[in-house]
Amino acid sequence: MLRRIVIAAVAVCALGTVHIQAQKNEFFRPKEVWNDTEGNPINAHGGGILYHKGMYYWYGEYKVGKTVLPSDATWERYRTDVTGVSCYSSKDLLNWKFEGVALKAITDEPNSDIHPTQVLERPKVVYNKKTKKFVMWMHIDSPDYSKAEAGVAIADSPTGPFKYLDGFRPNGTMSRDQTVFVDDDGTAYQFSSSEENQTMHINRLTADYTKPDGKYVRRFVGMAREAPAVFKHGNKYYMLSSGCTGWDPNSAELAVADSIMGEWTVLGDPCTGPDAEKTFYGQSTFVIPVQGKKNAFIACFDMWKKKDLQDSRYIWLPMMIDKQTHKITIPWHAEWNLDVFKKK
């Protein structure tokens, strides 16, 4: 019997690739290797999540190959060649199917913003209900980070392929770590770390979401915040961010505003538990509103491995909102699932 099984397995292998169904994920386990539905580590760094027609889509930096420190580097600008932006899909936020590389590097144009020799970071995708286009914003840069621009790509499908449109400095100002947020009225905004990462710029976008409309404000002036993650709870807007300490972890910070372009108030570090003062050795990238659950948000962080960027891990943790005070905290959990949130 055993011999027949072995022969059958060899026969299947001879016919083509064997796809083994990975064990289903039942819990979030921050910092551990997180495999997709085919059993491969999820590769979507510095990313963001889009919810569209019953499905979550996770986009991130697709880091493949050896991490290097360029010989001319004067600071720790470890890098991998640009490969593109990956896309994964999920209905439960735990089990993710690899949909492929939604935006691929342009390899045959050496001057392209997304050539393998350049920098592509922090991709975020939003859906424009009017144009019915999926719009991706990202930080693009030269290898020495002197260009400091935003890049934009569009697609007809959430899984791509995305077509790269252009790179530019929003409203003529520097743009590095960034995110995009769409308000309830359909107006979109890009938040970007500007002025040599010392000030956050909030740029209102055109109706098609592909460029700034000319109106922007400077917030958190001189406070050196990066890695913005923006969400709305009730009638207030929140921004989770990190300090600027390179690859080294630092304290997270939560801020709140009554209007996006208005004044923002710093609330302090929302993280609690072991290593909270170092954001559990992670850095903010996105906040996910959990569909079907009231007042349920997930704070997403990257745990960077500067000398092996492909092996950088993910830290996803529940945001807890106090019913009485409305205070938001992000407590450490070594293992958890969506049951932590009360159902509607």
- Written as tens digits, the pLDDT of the chain (344 aa) is 444 333 444 443 444 444 556 789 999 999 999 999 999 999 999 999 999 999 999 999 999 999 999 999 999 999 999 999 999 999 999 999 999 999 999 999 999 999 999 999 999 999 999 999 999 999 999 999 999 999 999 999 999 999 999 999 999 999 999 999 999 999 999 999 999 999 999 999 999 999 999 999 999 999 999 999 999 999 999 999 999 999 999 999 999 999 999 999 999 999 999 999 999 999 999 999 999 998 999 999 999 999 999 999 999 999 999 988 999 999 999 999 999 997 54
Any residues with CB less than 8 A from the CB of 339 and at least 6 apart, and which?
none
Whole-angstrom distance, CA of residue 100 vs CA of residue 88:
7
Of 292, 169, 290, the closest CA to residue 231 belongs to: 290
Residue 153: strand pairing partners: 136, 164
Any residues with CB less than 8 A from the CB of 120 and at least 6 apart, and which?
61, 82, 84, 85, 105, 113, 114, 138, 139, 140, 151
Any residues with CB less than 8 A from the CB of 328 and at least 6 apart, and which?
233, 238, 254, 267, 270, 319, 320, 321, 322
In this prediction the pTM is 0.93
Q: Give the right CATH number for 41-340 from 2.30.30.30, 3.20.10.10, 3.40.50.11740, 2.115.10.20.
A: 2.115.10.20
Helical spans, DSSP H, in the chain: 2-15
Q: Where are the domains of the chain?
A: 41-340
